[in-house]
Amino acid sequence: HENRIDGKAMADRLVADVAKQVATLKQTEHVIPGLAVVIVGDDPASKVYVGNKIKRAKEAGLNSIKYELPENCTQDELEQLIERLNNDADVHGILVQLPLPKPLSEARVIELISAEKDVDGFHPQNVGRLVAGQHSLVPCTPLGCLIMLREHFHGEAALSGKHAVVIGRSNIVGKPLAQLLLQANCTVSIVHSRTRDIETLCRQADILIAAVGRPQLVEKNWVKPGAVVIDVGINAIESDGARKLVGDVDFASVSQVASAITPVPGGVGPMTIACLMQNTLNAARMQIQHSDPIRT
C-alpha cells in the first residue's frame, strides 16, 4: 500500500530527534530528563505498554525509572509515591499507567501529579490550558495524530479549513484531539455512540479520525474518496484461531478509497510513545529554564 502512513518510521525519527536534544540539554544544562513510570497491578496489556515506554525512553537517552505497586496497594500508598516524585528534582515527568485497579481513584491521582510533570497531559490545569488555546503538556495520542497530519500535509498551515471528523469523545483521545485540530484551524465535528446517521457525517470528512475501540467499525462507505484516515483504535480479535490486533477502521476496504491511511499496528501506537518522550523533554526544559509550556 503506497498510501499507508508509516507511523513507526515517523516515531523513529521523532525519538532520534528527541535523543539529539536530550544530548544537547545534558551538555548545556548538565541535566538528564527523568521519566517516572508507575504501574499498579498485573494487567498484561498495561505491562506491555509500560515496557515499550521504558524501552523508548532509553533510546531517547532519558533517565527512566519504573515503579511497580501491587494490585492491592492503597490509595494512600499510591499518593505517597506521587508526592515523592513531585518533590524529586531528578524526575521531570510522571506517568501513571491507566486504568488503575479498582477501587483506586484515577481522578485523584491525576490531580495530584504536579501539572508541570504531567507528561500524559491529563491534569485539569493542562486540559484547561489546551481548551483556552494556551501552550501546555498535551495528551500523547492526540499529539501523535496531529504530528502525523502535519508531516503528511507538509506543515500545519495545510490543515486550515479542512473538515476533520473525530469519532469518539474520550478525555484521552477524542476531546483533546478535537481541540488540537480546532487550533490548527480545521472545521471540527465530533461524533460518538449517540450520533444519528454517523456514516453521512463521516463521509463529509477531509480528515477522518477513529478513536472508538470497535474493531473495523469504519467501512469504505463511511469515507469520502481522497480523505486522510487516522486509525487510533487498538483492538485484539480472533482471526482463523489466532489473536491479532486491528484498528477501528477496516483497513483492507478503506485503503481503496482513502488518499492516505494509518495501519494498525505501526501507525498511531508508536507515535503515541514517541510523543511521551517529546513531552518529557519539554517538561524538563520548562522545569530547568523555568519557562512557560512549550508548543510541540
User: For binding to ligand NAD (CB under 6 A), which residues are involved?
Assistant: 141, 167-170, 172-174, 192-193, 198, 211-214, 217, 232-235, 268-269, 272
Nearer to ligand NAD by Cβ, of 33 and 247: the residue is: 247
The set of cell numbers assigned to 131 is: 481548551
Residue 159 CA: distances (Å) to CA of 175, 177, 182, 187, 192: 18, 14, 10, 9, 23
Q: How far apart are CA 218 and CA 267, in angstroms?
A: 16
CB of 13 to ligand NAD, least distance (A): 17
Reply yes or no on whether 183 is catalytic: no
Catalytic residue among 21, 53, 278, 287: 53
Task: Report which DSSP code applies to 218.
Answer: B
DSSP string over 195-214: -TTHHHHHTT-SEEEE-S--
Q: Is 53 a catalytic residue?
A: yes
Work out how close the CB of 207 gets to ligand NAD at its nearest, in angstroms, rounded to a whole number: 17
Its sign, for the CA torsion 194, 246, 12, 55, is positive
Query: Do residues 142 and 127 touch, judged by C-beta distance below 8 A?
Result: no
Angstrom distance (rounded) from CA 288 to CA 197: 50
**Residue type at position 55:** K
Amino acid at 268: V
Torsion of CA 274, 277, 282, 284, to 10 degrees: 180
Q: How far is the CB of 239 from ligand NAD (least distance, A)?
A: 16
Q: Considering just the CA atoms, what is the radius of gyration of the chain in Å?
A: 19
Q: How far is the CB of 162 from ligand NAD (least distance, A)?
A: 21
- Between 4 and 79, whose beta carbon lies closer to ligand NAD? 4
Contact call for residues 29 and 12 (beta carbons, < 8 A)? no
25 versus 276: smaller Cβ distance to ligand NAD: 276
Considering beta carbons, is residue 91 or 164 the nearer one to ligand NAD? 164
Residues 66, 50: Cα–Cα separation, whole Å: 8
Rounded to a whole number of angstroms, the minimum distance from the CB of residue 141 to ligand NAD is 4
Of 118, 120, 248, 250, the active-site residue reads 120
Instruction: Provide the annotated binding site for NADP(+).
Output: 168-170, 234
Contact present, 57 and 277 (Cβ < 8 Å): yes
Question: Between 60 and 268, whose beta carbon lies closer to ligand NAD?
Answer: 268
Task: Show binding-site residues.
Answer: 168-170, 234
Residues taking part in catalysis? 53, 97, 120
